[in-house]
Amino acid sequence: MDSQAEPLSPGVTIAESESAPLHRHPLDGSETHLPLDAMATLGTGNNVRYRGDAKDHRDNIPPSERDPKKTGAVEAELEEDELLQWKRHIEQVKAELLEQIQGSVSDLLDKAISASAQSYPRRGRAVAGGDSPAKAKSIRIDKIEDRKVFMNRRSILDELFEINHIRTIYHMFIAALFLFIFSTLAVDYIDQGRLVLEFDLLSYAFGKLSTVLWAWLLMFTYTLAGPYHTCVLGVYPIYTVVHHQLPPASRFIIILEQIRFLMKSYSFIRENVPEVINKSKQGGSPRLPTFSSYLYFLFCPSLIYRESYPRNPYIRWNYVGMAFAQILGCLFYAYFILVRLCIPVFMNENSQPFSTRTLVLALFHSTLPGMLILLLGFFAFLHCWLNAFAEMLRFADRMFYKDWWNSTSFANYYRTWNVVVHDWLYSYVYQDFLWLSRRKSRSAAMLSVFIVSAVVHEYVFTVCFGFFYPVMFCLFAVIGVVFNFTLNDKRKSPVWNIIMWICLFIGQGVQVCLYCQEWYAQKHCPPTGKSIWELVIPRSWSCSYQQ
């Protein structure tokens, strides 16, 4: 036997090795003898075809019947199959490897964020003497976890719009806007014989902007001079709205800014006064907040005061310009929705007496425009407006909302819809209520959050529309509480996401329907002043006029 020959595998004879088929390696092309039983296993178990199978097949064909062209085609086909099988195997290995790496990186990031949150320094958090180190550490971690932590992160829609499939939905909304414009032009041309594109509703709704500007400057000056002028912030905006008879959109600007200044003032006092008092009791000199940090806080898109926030290195002015352009587009979008879908329906509806049939028909007619207005308000304010100011101020934490559209419970929806307001309510209403009750009544603390939210929402709509109709209070303080405790986080099935969207459609339809009916009822049936009950009983329940 030649000394250079390779040794045979154990249990394989020379005769078997000579008759054993060759196995070609898919990478280097080297050929090795495999036992026939092994080749049978490979060929059947993994459904892989080898050149040995073709060789056996050719050996069974008489030499006179062999066709060189067919033989070459078979070999080429087998090589192609081998390459395809190998590519599929590599793709599977790649997918598994990426999945493992992604999971590992995600776990590492979660641990890093948790560790950084637990080690976040906070001034004035001294543990009372006598507590054990373990208890002191537990108290410190609990308090830190309850405290809002700001970090550098992007808005979800900015990340989603980088995906072509999601951006196509955005393009569909733009296309629908152009369809509204074309339909308005066509209707005006048919009715009046000329192309008319007037924005009289927008000019009316945002009227007297000079008065709005002076009122805002006065509110800002008082807030900047000191966050203790709550009497001025509480009375002056209402006086301006009522005395000057401002239109609805101008009223919304003043009242919402009033609430924003009050919430920021409370946060500034709540975050600094306890620390100053604690430092004074300990005999140390308290560290007072700087004017620059307070001024930055008044403009930054956050209601939680901090001495500093994570900042971006530069400003993307093209991003700011695009955000304001999108806000303007949303305003025109809402205008066309009201003009084409709401005003023609509710303008003449009060010519008929109030009935269940009229209410139900109007309700279902209002679901689509109501939902569109909700989405436009979310996109224009929570995404475009807040991101525009965050970009101009280089504010790095853009988590103004979360993926509320994926919610399977209203408890999660309330937490993720408006994160900016939720953080304020959680920090200064829910947590303070728990502290006052010594953490004995979480349900009562949650109920207090809904009551505060309901009262503020009803205050805004009452002052801005000029009439009292407690739709928002009932939706938040009654229906919202019921949904929060019944449709809770235990609901994980996608069916509950469908149910949540159905409830949102109906809820928005109720708001648009009832407020539009009451608006036109107030116009066509003004109060007589004979009874105080006219101020609290909805006029749409009894108003009926003839054209």
Active site residues: 457
CA atoms of 383 and 402, how far apart (whole Å): 11
Q: Is the dihedral of CA 56, 60, 63, 66 positive or negative?
A: negative
- β partners of residue 397: 153
279 close to 126: Cβ distance less than 8 angstroms:
no
Which of 238, 210, 227 lies closest to 271, judged by CA? 227
User: 374: which 2 tokens?
Assistant: 């909700």
SS3 per residue for 419-466: HHHHHHHHHHHHHHHHHHCCCCCHHHHHHHHHHHHHHHHHHHHHHHHC
| 31 DSSP assignment | E
Rounded (10°) angle between helices 248-281 and 442-465: 140
User: 140: which 2 tokens?
Assistant: 């410190």
Q: How does strand 22-24 pair with strand 31-33?
A: antiparallel
221 close to 231: Cβ distance less than 8 angstroms:
no
Can you tell me which residue has the tokens 């005061």? 305
User: 378: which 2 tokens?
Assistant: 């979310």
Contacts of 234 (CB under 8 A, 6+ apart): 258, 262
39 close to 52: Cβ distance less than 8 angstroms:
yes
Reduced to 3 states (helix: H, G, I; strand: E, B; else coil), residue 35 is coil
CA atoms of 481 and 134, how far apart (whole Å): 38
Contacts of 142 (CB under 8 A, 6+ apart): none
User: 23: which 2 tokens?
Assistant: 């196995």
The alpha carbon of residue 218 and the mean position of all alpha carbons in its chain are separated, in whole angstroms, by: 33
Reduced to 3 states (helix: H, G, I; strand: E, B; else coil), residue 33 is strand
432 close to 266: Cβ distance less than 8 angstroms:
no
Measured from the Cβ of residue 264, the count of other Cβ atoms closer than 10 Å reads 22
Which of 367, 368, 403 lies closest to 382, judged by CA? 403
- What is the Rg, in whole angstroms, of the alpha carbon atoms belonging to the chain? 35
Reduced to 3 states (helix: H, G, I; strand: E, B; else coil), residue 543 is coil
